[in-house]
Amino acid sequence: MTSIKTDSNNLRIMELDPGLEPFKDHLEYRMKRFTEQKMLIDQNEGSLEEFAKGYLKFGLNREEGNVVYREWAPAAEEAQLIGDFNGWDGSNHKMEKNQFGVWTIKIPDVNGTSAIPHNSRVKFRFKHNNGVWVDRIPAWIKYAIVDSSKFAAPYDGVYWDPPASERYKFNYPRPPKPDAPRIYEAHVGMSSSEAKVNSYREFADNVLPRIHANNYNTVQLMAIMEHSYYGSFGYHVTNFFAVSSRSGTPEDLKYLIDKAHSLGIRVLMDVVHSHVSNNVTDGLNGFDVGQGTQDSYFHTGDRGYHTQWDSRLFNYSNWEVLRFLLSNLVWWIEEFKFDGFRFDGVTSMLYHHHGINMAFTGDYNEYFSESTDVDAVVYMMLANDLIHSLFPDATVIAEDVSGMPGLGRPVDEGGVGFDYRLAMGIPDKWIDYVKNKNEDEWSMNDISRSLTNRRYTEKCVAYAESHDQSIVGDKTIAFLLMDNEMYTGMSCLTEASPVIDRGIALHKMIHFITMALGGEGYLSFMGNEFGHPEWIDFPRVGNDWSYDKCRRQWELVDTEHLRYKFMNAFDRAMNLLDEKFSFLSSTKQIVSSADEDDKVIVFERGDLVFVFNFHPVNTYDGYKVGCDLPGKYKVALDSDAFEFGGHGRVGHDVDHFTSPEGTPGVPETNFNNRPNSFKVLSPPRTCVVYYRVEEDIVEETEASVSLIEDSDLDDVKIIKEATPVTESKAQVLEISEEEKKEDHDNKRLI
């Protein structure tokens, strides 16, 4: 604990951001709380890692020829284990309670066979203080099922302990952590083209190959933890250690993850520790039978209830709640080989007001005050410390809209410890532009400022749209741009209408500039890569329990004569560009021009020069763009190429030679503060990326071949001679620390 104590007196996040100095007391207090909590756990449980193996003790487990069941229910007066194994009569299976409120029963094997058969139903029966007996699903249950033939039937817990012959064995190692995650957000249940709930195995066999083909290196799975209400999108969790039985068994999910790993794809889990389903019959909320706050998983009164989500809120200061949640994270990593998490609802966790009716302005007083829920912050610090200790290559992402400083810095610096935060303001900006502004009102400065407005040294995952922008009541970007014409105008057998032509062009540009300028990672939701039309609507009373819009219409992108293939091909090309040039992970990001009259944004990311012309009609021939290094540049990616549904106006065999600008070492004499420039053709609603040819590596005869030679329109058109950045070259391109800290007025990322 010595090193942690030292860090609490020397919060390095304040060295990165001197603006945190007035809040030193707050930061030291939460670091002290973290240190003390971890020390207590070490003293009483052996270590944080041992503490977080609660699933080996709680719930139903095998121990030396017995099934042992333990449940924390301090307010219960009597308790029994019931199920198929005893005819649902618990009179002969009464449990005993210890001084910590933990109930236990040990059931010996019968003739060498478990008294509770694998895959049989079980429940926890207990009597609370008003004398009423209730049946609940064990809190740590590893599988839960429902009788689908009965409307609104309750779930049953299932004792899951398959024999060795039926237990899935992983065959592939975890892929290495990528320099930048390119994330495909997916919902297994709605991933079928049929109007049904898809299975883990069908997703693995049919959807993972699509994700791999589009060059994503990470898949983020939603709705994995069991949730009794399908329409909650998986965010009203009822059983935290159980996989959603709608899509299959725990072994089926393991098959999916192993299949992803075989393709080099890492798998993140959308974990929900911010709140709990209000469902009493099936969920954790059923254990709350009038307890005081220290005898319950939840806070009592208003503090324990989220009014907008109609859900219960954890008491993060409670010892057993910490054990439950931390063990939950380790369970998914160890048992299922997940490679990390996307924490849902972090803003709600960070503040007592949960972000409700809060418009965060960036004032630091909004982040560090009595409104901050320090208990929840300490829990997240413990969680991130645990995850990265157990699995250093884990990727952990925070869904936070507030922008709390330090959220994405390591715990030992005084941060909360997340690797990335979602850049949640970006999709809101695009929705506003597409819905409410004519193209002549689009501001290049506002777009570039919104995309680069993130904290220095805290990484972000950018996205133009996720599942949030696709649910019923809203529309995807493609649907907003093209609307009803997507039903009639997507055939290549007829000429594209102005609406379709504009829509496809802007769809490509919006997603690509978000990826290239918006963060250190990128995310796209399942189907949006090819402009999936319509919205997502889960089966419910209001739509007569229809699955029609709770699926993905893969046939649209698979049909050769439909234009969806163009957006899909460009999505594939965007990801391949990063695969070849690693621009997402580069710290070199400079916006050299955001011209409001021309409607053009020019920037550099890594070695690449990006030119985005948002003007609806103007073509600029000989348009001058600034760059860092001198030499010869060629086209690396062109959204206007025929392969991507464009008009083929940009020549890919053209060599662009740079000219020096101004006095060396005197930026104010340069062109847009860049020491070199070259000229390009820039058609309207087109983005083109240029790479610098290494003359000493690439022969002149090879340099003229700029695209993969393949007639298949679905193939990616990226340059063959993508030269990897050497270490010495990367050092030359690195921006100085002083340059990095320049403000947004100089159009530089801080």
CB 487 within 8 A of CB 554: no
Other CB atoms within 10 A of residue 352 CB: 15
597 is catalytic: no
- Give every CB contact of residue 657 below 8 A, 6+ residues apart in sequence: 631, 632, 633, 678
Helix, coil or strand: residue 182? strand
399 is catalytic: yes
Structure tokens at 683: 């058609």
- Owner of token pair 């993972």: 208
- Per the rule left: phi > 0, alpha: psi between -120 and 50, beta: everything else, 685 is left
Q: Which residues of 50-78 are buried (b: 16+ CB within 10 A; e: fewer)?
A: ebbbbbeebbbbeeeeebbbbbbbbbbee
Q: Which residues of 149-181 are buried (b: 16+ CB within 10 A; e: fewer)?
A: eeeeeebbbbbbbeeeeeebeeeeebbebbebb
E strand segments, 272-357: 276-277, 305-306, 311-312, 340-343
Q: What is the 3-state secondary structure (H, E, C) of 70-85?
A: EEECCCCCEEEEEEHH
CB 282 within 8 A of CB 228: yes
Out of 202, 399, 578, 604, which one is annotated catalytic?
Answer: 399
Out of 344, 628, 640, 661, which one is annotated catalytic?
Answer: 344
**Cα distance between residue 507 and residue 450, in whole Å:** 18
Cα separation values, 318 from 39, 352, 466, 550, 744, Å: 15, 17, 34, 38, 43
Residue of 73, 79, 61 lying closest to 102 (CA atoms): 73
- Owner of token pair 């005081």: 292
CB 671 within 8 A of CB 677: yes
Q: Give the sign of the dihedral formed by CA 491, CA 497, CA 499, CA 501.
A: positive
CB 550 within 8 A of CB 490: no
Helix, coil or strand: residue 690? strand
**Cα distance between residue 319 and residue 296, in whole Å:** 11
Q: Which residues of 197-210 are buried (b: 16+ CB within 10 A; e: fewer)?
A: bbbbbbbbeebbeb
Other CB atoms within 10 A of residue 487 CB: 10
Helix, coil or strand: residue 738? helix
- Owner of token pair 């649910």: 471
- Give every CB contact of residue 247 below 8 A, 6+ residues apart in sequence: 188, 189, 197, 198, 199, 200, 203, 253
Provide the residue type at 504 as one letter: I
Structure tokens at 235: 């965010």
Structure tokens at 13: 């996040």
Structure tokens at 254: 């393991």
**Cα distance between residue 348 and residue 357, in whole Å:** 12
Counting Cβ atoms within 10 Å, is residue 548 exposed (0-12), middle (13-18) or buried (19+)? exposed
**Cα distance between residue 707 and residue 492, in whole Å:** 23
**Cα distance between residue 341 and residue 332, in whole Å:** 9
Catalytic residue numbers, as ranges: 344, 399
